[in-house]
Amino acid sequence: MPKKLRIGFIGTGGIAHAHMKAYKTFDDVEIVGGADIVPGKARAFLDKWELPNAKAFESAEELIKNVEMDGVTVCTYNTQHAIPTIMALNAGLHVQCEKPMSFTLQEGVEMVRAAKKNNRILTIGFQPRYDPVRQHVDQIIQSGELGKVYYVQSGGGRRHGIPGSTFVQAEKAGFGCLGDIGCYSIDECMHAIGYPKPLTVSAIATDYFGKNPKYWHDADTFNVDDFSVAFVRCEGGVTFVFRQAWAMHADSIGDTLWLGTEGGIKILNGYQQVNSPSRVRMFRDIGGNEVDSVVKPFYPFDAYNPIGKVDIFAAKVRDFCDAIKENRPAPIPGEEILYNQAICDGIYRSARLGEEVKIEIPEI
Ligand SMILES: NC(=O)c1ccc[n+]([C@@H]2O[C@H](COP(=O)([O-])OP(=O)(O)OC[C@H]3O[C@@H](n4cnc5c(N)ncnc54)[C@H](O)[C@@H]3O)[C@@H](O)[C@H]2O)c1
């Protein structure tokens, strides 16, 4: 029988369960251990998933030292992504790290350096990359049909969507809405156009909802952002306008938009649009005529599960495993996501300082 892939967990809180749910469906993977700094938490997690032979520890270091593994999934909160990831890479393990990549840009740089030095996979957990609609949009934009894309704007957001738990504690999450859902928006907008290098950021961040007991039950301890906007200048004359909200008095902060010299794509956001098959629109001029088309979702037949939706979370976990087995590069490479991290870091710094900041990415 071929050898099974041996995977361990670092951090066994909320999202670790979603990873485990996916892993439990894979016949070729064995979960061999877990670590969590809260005493007893890793053991309880492994027991819940009926893994009595998997070993539990109270530090990532002990797990890495004592258990033979091919890779780990890092499911700690944001300010604790870098340390265990670097430790695992230096021990020769492949890593799937949850999003956002880290809290600071420098942490992200150190993570990428460790992956490069040890020639190991460092992939970051942006599962919307596996959404067929998103892949369809990426494909159109990357085909060059829009000409030169010079402007991108993020959209979406939540009306009442402050998540609670460690997401609203600055010492654990670092940033709030920006690190939670903002990094997804940045990935959606920038991956499609090949992640041009960000150069400067001017941002603001506010906390009007999290700090108001009318909208958030724990307003006294809330200490992160719940809304941010930014103007990002990128290499190649690309402007990126970022907007994101955990809470607002609107059904959406606007549409997601890519404007090119030959065409544009818009993703309509908001309650009315979210499940609409005509949500994605493309605009062009053909023979002097204004042409507006609907970009139809394209689902490859075998991507359906029984309820008709693609399990994008399982797809991301599977891709990590396959990349290890097939000796492929990281599916969502740390080097690429470093630009995402640089934007998050720039937004955070600019909002704090109240002025535009330069983005300088150290050599890897
Ligand atoms: N991809 C997604 O859909 C998705 C969804 C939710 C959360 N996330 C991300 O997953 C991460 C974790 O979120 P969560 O909701 O599971 O948080 P959580 O607070 O529920 O769990 C984090 C766990 O990590 C443990 N931990 C912290 N530092 C550690 C360390 N150095 N070593 C070992 N264990 C450590 C904590 O004790 C805790 O049990 C966050 O970065 C978040 O952004 C991703």
- Work out the pLDDT band at 19, boundaries 50, 70, 90: very high
Residue 78: both structure tokens together: 């944001």
Whole-angstrom distance, CA of residue 58 vs CA of residue 43: 9
Length of the chain (residues): 364
Does the Cβ of 85 fall within 6 Å of ligand 1? no
CA angle centred on 304, ends 299 and 305, rounded to 5°: 160
Does the Cβ of 38 fall within 6 Å of ligand 1? yes
For the cut 50, the answer to whether the pLDDT of residue 160 exceeds it is yes
List, in order, residues 6 or more apart from 299 with CB less than 8 Å away: 132, 310
Average pLDDT taken over every residue of the chain:
95
Question: In a 10 Å sphere around its CB, with 0-12 CB exposed, 13-18 middle and 19+ buried, how is residue 291 labelled?
Answer: exposed
For the cut 70, the answer to whether the pLDDT of residue 300 exceeds it is no
- Work out the pLDDT band at 272, boundaries 50, 70, 90: confident
Q: Does 148 lie in the same domain as 101?
A: no
Please compute Rg for the chain using Cα positions.
Answer: 21
Does the Cβ of 60 fall within 6 Å of ligand 1? yes
- Residue that has been written with the tokens 């819940």 in this structure: 48
**Residue 212's domain spans which residues?**
131-298+341-358
Q: Does 211 lie in the same domain as 348?
A: yes
Q: How far is CA 59 from CA 36, 45, 254, in A?
A: 6, 15, 43
The pTM is what? 0.96
For the cut 70, the answer to whether the pLDDT of residue 93 exceeds it is yes
Amino acid letter, residue 253 = I
Residue 303 is assigned to a structural domain of this protein: no
Q: How far is CA 172 from CA 79, 105, 164, 191, in A?
A: 5, 16, 12, 27
pLDDT tens-digit series, residues 194-219? 999 999 999 999 999 999 999 999 99
Does the Cβ of 40 fall within 6 Å of ligand 1? no
> What pLDDT, on a 0 to 100 scale, did the predictor assign at position 27?
97
Q: Does 321 lie in the same domain as 238?
A: no
Lowest-confidence region among 69-78, 238-247, 309-318, 331-340: 309-318
Q: Does 95 lie in the same domain as 148?
A: no
Q: Does 328 lie in the same domain as 190?
A: no
Residue 97: both structure tokens together: 């790290």
Does the Cβ of 11 fall within 6 Å of ligand 1? yes
- Work out the pLDDT band at 284, boundaries 50, 70, 90: very high
Whole-angstrom distance, CA of residue 131 vs CA of residue 305: 13
Does the Cβ of 123 fall within 6 Å of ligand 1? no
Q: Which of 189, 125, 129, 179 is nearest to 155 (CA)?
A: 189
Does the Cβ of 99 fall within 6 Å of ligand 1? yes
Residue, of 311 and 44, whose pLDDT is higher: 44
Residue 105 is assigned to a structural domain of this protein: yes
- Residue of the CA atom closest to atom 31 of ligand 1: 80
Whole-angstrom distance, CA of residue 44 vs CA of residue 26: 21
Helix (H, G, I), strand (E, B) or coil at 224: coil
Q: Does 140 lie in the same domain as 265?
A: yes
Q: What is the CATH number of the domain that holds 275?
A: 3.30.360.10
- Work out the pLDDT band at 296, boundaries 50, 70, 90: confident
Residue 306 is assigned to a structural domain of this protein: no
For the cut 70, the answer to whether the pLDDT of residue 172 exceeds it is yes
Share of the chain above pLDDT 90, in %: 90
> What pLDDT, on a 0 to 100 scale, did the predictor assign at position 299?
58
* Average of per-residue pLDDT across 20-40: 98
For the cut 90, the answer to whether the pLDDT of residue 298 exceeds it is no
For the cut 70, the answer to whether the pLDDT of residue 250 exceeds it is yes
Does the Cβ of 77 fall within 6 Å of ligand 1? yes
For the cut 60, the answer to whether the pLDDT of residue 301 exceeds it is no
Q: Does 352 lie in the same domain as 328?
A: no
Q: What is the CATH number of the domain that holds 59?
A: 3.40.50.720
Residue 178 is assigned to a structural domain of this protein: yes
- Residue spans of alpha helices (H) in the chain: 14-23, 41-48, 60-66, 82-90, 105-118, 132-142, 170-173, 177, 183-191, 312-325, 334-353
Q: How far is CA 177 from CA 74, 162, 318, in A?
A: 20, 8, 27
- Residue of the CA atom closest to atom 40 of ligand 1: 77
Q: How far is CA 46 from CA 24, 70, 169, 362, in A?
A: 12, 18, 26, 39
- Residue of the CA atom closest to atom 18 of ligand 1: 13
Whole-angstrom distance, CA of residue 90 vs CA of residue 84: 10
Q: Which of 320, 264, 306 is nearest to 130 (CA)?
A: 320
- Residue 16 alpha carbon to ligand 1 centre in Å: 7
- Work out the pLDDT band at 170, boundaries 50, 70, 90: very high
pLDDT tens-digit series, residues 40-78? 999 999 999 999 999 999 999 999 999 999 999 999 999
Q: Does 170 lie in the same domain as 121?
A: no
Residue 198 is assigned to a structural domain of this protein: yes
Q: Does 121 lie in the same domain as 140?
A: no
* Average of per-residue pLDDT across 167-184: 98
For the cut 90, the answer to whether the pLDDT of residue 132 exceeds it is no
* Average of per-residue pLDDT across 133-159: 95
Q: Which of 237, 236, 202, 242 is nearest to 357 (CA)?
A: 202
- Residue of the CA atom closest to atom 39 of ligand 1: 13
Q: Does 268 lie in the same domain as 154?
A: yes
> What pLDDT, on a 0 to 100 scale, did the predictor assign at position 297?
66
Q: Does 150 lie in the same domain as 110?
A: no
Does the Cβ of 89 fall within 6 Å of ligand 1? no
Dihedral (Cα; 208, 209, 212, 213), 10-degree rounding: 180
Residue 305 is assigned to a structural domain of this protein: no
For the cut 50, the answer to whether the pLDDT of residue 350 exceeds it is yes
- Residue of the CA atom closest to atom 21 of ligand 1: 13
- Work out the pLDDT band at 309, boundaries 50, 70, 90: low
Q: Does 142 lie in the same domain as 108?
A: no
Dihedral (Cα; 224, 226, 229, 233), 10-degree rounding: 40
